[in-house]
Amino acid sequence: MASIKGVKFAKKVLDPNLMQKLSKSNKLGLLTYITLATVASVGTALGVKIKDAIAKPKPVS
């Protein structure tokens, strides 16, 4: 929300070239948050699977 309001304000004040760099920076920041959340979720899921495999091995037939 703050980034959206900041971009609206910055469009009035900043040079178009600098505004383009700011927008690119904000997009990369969003991509970083999404990537971090995805990696953390996958890592947690794999960690739980490994923990379950160690704590409760499948019975040998």
pLDDT at site 1:
61
Whether 3 and 26 have beta carbons less than 8 Å apart is answered as: yes
Q: What is the mean pLDDT, run by run of 10 residues, along the chain of 61 residues?
A: 77 89 89 97 96 82 70
pLDDT at site 56:
81
Report domain extents, the chain: 4-55
Pick the closest to residue 27 from 43, 60, 4, 44 (CA basis).
4
Q: What is the pTM of this model?
A: 0.67
